[in-house]
Amino acid sequence: MTNLSQDKASLLEVDGLSVEYRLKGVSLRAIDRVSFALQAGEAVGLVGESGSGKTTTAMAIAGLLSPNARVSGGQVRYRGNLLSIDNDAAMRPHRWTETSVVFQGAMNALNPVHRIIKQIAEPCILKLGMSRAEATARAREVLELVGIPTDRGTAYPHELSGGMRQRVMIAMALACRPSIIIGDEPTTALDVITQAQILKLLGKLRSQLNLALILITHDLSVVAESCDRVMIMYAGRIVEDGTVAEIFAKPKHPYTRLLIESIPNPASGIRIIRPIPGDPPNLMNRPSGCAFHPRCPSATGVCTTEVPSLEKFGWGRVACHLHRSSQEGRVAVHA
Amino acid sequence: MSESIVRYSSRSRARAIKSFLSNLLGHAGAQLGLLCLVFFLVLSAVPNILVGPLETVATATGDFLVPPSSQHLLGTDEVGRDVLNLVVHGARISLTIALLATVISLVVGTTVGIIAGYYGGRVDVWLMRLTDFFFVMPSFVLALVITPVVLEVMGRGREILGFRPSLFVILVVIGITSWAFVARIVRSQTLSLKERTFIDRARVVGSSNLSIMVRHILPNLVPQIAANGALVVAGAIYVETSLSFLGLGDPLQPSWGTLLSLAQRAGAASTGAWWYLGAPGLCALAVSLSFVLVGNALDDTFNPRQRVIP
Amino acid sequence: MPDTSDILSLESLKVHFPIQGGLFDRVLGRSAGAVRAADGVDLNIGRGEIVALVGESGSGKTTVGRVITKLAQPTGGRLLFEGRDMTSAKGFSALRPYRRRVQMIFQDAYQALNPRHTVFDSVAEPLRSLRLVKNHAQLTERVSEALSAAGLNPPGDFFARFPHELSGGQRQRVVIAGALAVKPELIVADEPVSMLDVSIRAQILQVLVDLRAKHNMALLFITHDLPLAWLIADRIAVLYLGRLVEIGSADDITFNPRHPYTVALRNATPQIRSDASRFELPALQGEVPSAARVPKGCRFHPRCPLAFDRCKEEEPPAIEVGPQHMSACWLPTSGAKAELSTPNLKSADHGSV
């Protein structure tokens, strides 16, 4: 079972991380005191809607925050060492060799005028100081790893299909032997069958190379198929964290439960549309207390005033007043 | 309810205009250009109040080619007319011609550009060939060919649409040689707008082609047209000055170019009458430059790379 | 079979886009071929019926939607509306009666609204151009009615807003309001929820389903998402490379798919309870080929794990495999019937939650 945050041997520890964006003189808190730990070889899904802060969290870990972002609190430790994630120069040796990112739009992330093998070899030369020949050999290795015949290495990005390009992106991410791969919606732009192939590939690589995987997505069912653990984010905070099996069988947070129910699932046989009322939260105008309370069917008075903290609950964690009260001995009535 | 709608609408528009102006005026170039343009527009609006009626040889008030003095701030010309008086009246002629020529150019250019871009195919091919033809046509040669013909047909004394024939020719020549530039820009913008889904939607909800062009495409072209319109004016001032300098202007209604031409013929350069050449020359330069500055600032403000079309 | 109760039917509809060849080809008078976006689609939609058209990118599903809404012209086949041939109808005034009855909803609502038009203008546009209102009072009434039916309440608050001032869900509601303002009998919805946040999707689906319930409006729901199609549709049609491979009731397609492609699609779709309802079929390799190079025979055969000789030579017709259930596959005719005729639901617990 996943052990959370207390484990000293964690590969990555995020503790109370807050990030703010400055937009036209206004400060927007994109993520608010996000804490979690990641073990080597673990696959975590980071799930949320637009504005939930899932991408900001992942980019902060990779040290890829945009220039108008500021880390306003908290810290990130990698193998016990503090990372200065808002310092681009300090993060440069860490990126690609320890943590790499697979982006959504593979076409934009690849240089159209270079052969793919050259693009995969490039980080090895720059980061690991390999010679051109060594780097090319390494590039062949990773191409084989992601299931691209090595003779396709001389192709240009536009000659490849969308799925192949995404494989190239994964190969690039793997080239410098990182321990963590962050996938930022890596399959969103792909077709269903190609998506299944890519997810299968990521799963295979993970067990083969003992990679930790952080999968950012808005699609719970993708997480269900490819991760061990899932963290649900809402309005910049983690609202629930637990194993995939547990969360999909028994969601604790009302948002998680409604989200799962709103996804059509033929296996359940329930053919009823069950919408979540209201709009996703606006960061400019964050609701008081629990950010989900205006849409929550079980909200009570305390939800409108007090921000619930993320507390240990069973094997996972949940940030909801309903569950806090049950811990204090009362029975939570919802579901 | 309707009252609240009106309030909403005007507030929303007012907000948009305010933010647009503050963006525009953020450019130092735009501030300078607009200041200069306001100055010249005032000059050309009320020349009689500022410097009295246009002086002629008969009403000349000074000696020949007197350097600037307290009596004649910009000196006098070879027949004793006050140069300040001539330059201020010249502003009116120059600006009128430039602005009207720009209107012709924008109307023709936008119409041709939208139609070519929207319909595509054969229409596009032929309209663009026509555009290319006008694009490469030299305005000087065209003016030199047309002027004698028009003067022969109309006679020197008559007026066309309130313009003396030679000024009308200049106006038309500038108009028909500068619209091609506008048409090319409008066409390329139309081609990209045409692919946007809201054009598909307009078609599905039954809008006619005309209505799609006028209600959907045109409003989204306003930024490009405005920015390029300012550049067209600058070009028009330059061409007008050059054509008049070649002697195609009307000596009875002197523009800046005509003044330069008169000065050159009077030997202002060789006799050292710098004020006579300098005053109209600097004015033409300042106005062209101002329009360029404003045009660039408009372009920056509307730049799609900085901001999606609002 | 064109049924009199069908509001719309497509008969072997074809849309081929010619490929502009290079100079060499043109000199030699060679044709560079064509992209066969739709290549013989037969589909009918009944009154008040919700049909989902499911396919991957490049399957031609959007093209079919564009033909029905007269945004694209077919190069072959027929488009019948209430039995009347609309295939070659052209020009906005000739199409006006058709447009009053067939409307469309788009994938990207932000792109589908003119950024310079207010919500009122956008929703009023169809009413004006289709001449459905006599005066401004009537126009305001119809616009309010449509906005409120699309779930934007109170409608007056939205009249003067611009698209960029709305949330994604609200924008899609404006597009829906525009379509339903004319009270159409058929709406083509092209991936109407795929760009929306998960929690908003169900709200929009609810609006669409309510419309059918209230006004008996038919809906062609174009999507790449099989579970979503199952949730909303009465029937599902699966499109592969410009041709329907299978069509049947939503339950049949979901729980009893007969075409190997449908099975593969179903298996590849990620699900929350992933251990349930997978069919036995090896995973597909490769990706959808280009519509410019459609394989000979059954167009799915190069990727089909069950293909046999006949599939490489002959294109299969739609074969009835159950009541109202057709599959364009040679399998049922072959001896290998056992392979798919009893789809092996690993856990046959459908309905037991």
Using the Cβ of C103 and the Cβ atoms of chain B, whether some distance falls under 8 Å is answered with yes
Cβ within 8 Å, pair B201-C112: yes
Predicted local confidence at residue C348, as pLDDT: 35
Cβ within 8 Å, pair C120-B5: yes
Q: How far is the C-alpha of B215 from the C-alpha of B230, rounded, in Å?
A: 23
pLDDT tens digit string along C278-314? 677 887 877 788 888 888 899 999 989 888 888 998 8
With contact defined as beta carbons under 8 Å apart, do C245 and C263 qualify?
A: no
Predicted local confidence at residue B130, as pLDDT: 94
Average pLDDT of the segment spanning C235-252: 95
For residue A280, the chain C residues in CB contact (below 8 A) are 167, 197, 199-200
pLDDT tens digit string along A87-127? 888 888 888 889 999 987 766 778 888 999 999 998 889 88
CA C115 to chain B, closest CA, distance in angstroms equals 6
Predicted local confidence at residue B1, as pLDDT: 37
Compare CB distances from C104 to B2, B204, B309 and report the shortest one's residue: B204
Predicted local confidence at residue B137, as pLDDT: 85
Alpha-helical runs (H) found in chain B = 2-25, 28-45, 47-51, 83-119, 121-136, 139-154, 165-194, 197-204, 209-211, 218-243, 256-265, 268-271, 274-302
pLDDT tens digit string along A294-317? 999 999 889 999 999 898 888 889
Q: How far is the C-alpha of B308 from the C-alpha of C162, rounded, in Å?
A: 14
Using the Cβ of C92 and the Cβ atoms of chain B, whether some distance falls under 8 Å is answered with yes
Residues of chain B with pLDDT under 70: 1-13, 155-157, 161-162, 302-310
Cβ within 8 Å, pair C114-B202: yes
pLDDT tens digit string along C129-149? 999 999 999 999 999 999 999
Q: Do chains B and A touch (3 or more CB pairs under 8 A)?
A: no
Predicted local confidence at residue C338, as pLDDT: 43
- Are β-strands A229-234 and A43-47 bridged in parallel, bridged antiparallel, or unpaired? parallel
Predicted local confidence at residue B142, as pLDDT: 84
CA A244 to chain C, closest CA, distance in angstroms equals 9
Using the Cβ of B157 and the Cβ atoms of chain C, whether some distance falls under 8 Å is answered with no
pLDDT, greater one: B288 or C175: C175
Predicted local confidence at residue C352, as pLDDT: 30
pTM summary value? 0.85
**Minimum Cα–Cα distance from A224: chain C residue:** C272
Binning pLDDT at 50, 70 and 90, where does residue C337 land?
A: very low
C257-260 contacts: CB < 8 A, separation 24 or more?
A: C257/C343, C258/C321, C258/C322, C258/C325, C258/C327, C258/C329, C258/C331, C258/C332, C258/C340, C258/C341, C258/C343, C259/C300, C259/C327, C259/C328, C259/C329, C260/C300, C260/C304, C260/C305, C260/C306, C260/C329, C260/C331, C260/C340
A4 φ, ψ (degrees, to nearest 5) = -105, 140
CA A318 to chain C, closest CA, distance in angstroms equals 19
- Please identify which residue in the block is written with the tokens 């020719």: B169
Q: How far is the C-alpha of C250 from the C-alpha of C232, rounded, in Å?
A: 9
Q: Do chains C and B touch (3 or more CB pairs under 8 A)?
A: yes
Q: One-letter amino acid identity for B131?
A: T
Compare CB distances from C199 to A224, A262, A273 and report the shortest one's residue: A262
Predicted local confidence at residue B5, as pLDDT: 41
For residue C162, the chain B residues in CB contact (below 8 A) are 12
Binning pLDDT at 50, 70 and 90, where does residue C234 land?
A: very high
Average pLDDT of the segment spanning C225-240: 94
The two three-digit tokens of residue C60, written as one number? 């031609």
With contact defined as beta carbons under 8 Å apart, do A69 and A30 qualify?
A: yes
Predicted local confidence at residue B26, as pLDDT: 79
Calculate what percentage of chain B has a pLDDT beyond 70.
Answer: 91
Calculate what percentage of chain C has a pLDDT beyond 70.
Answer: 88
Question: What is the ipTM score, two decimals?
Answer: 0.85
For residue A200, the chain C residues in CB contact (below 8 A) are 283
The two three-digit tokens of residue A5, written as one number? 């945050």
Predicted local confidence at residue A51, as pLDDT: 84
Predicted local confidence at residue C275, as pLDDT: 53
Tell me if residue B188 falls in helix, strand or coil: helix
With contact defined as beta carbons under 8 Å apart, do C78 and C72 qualify?
A: no
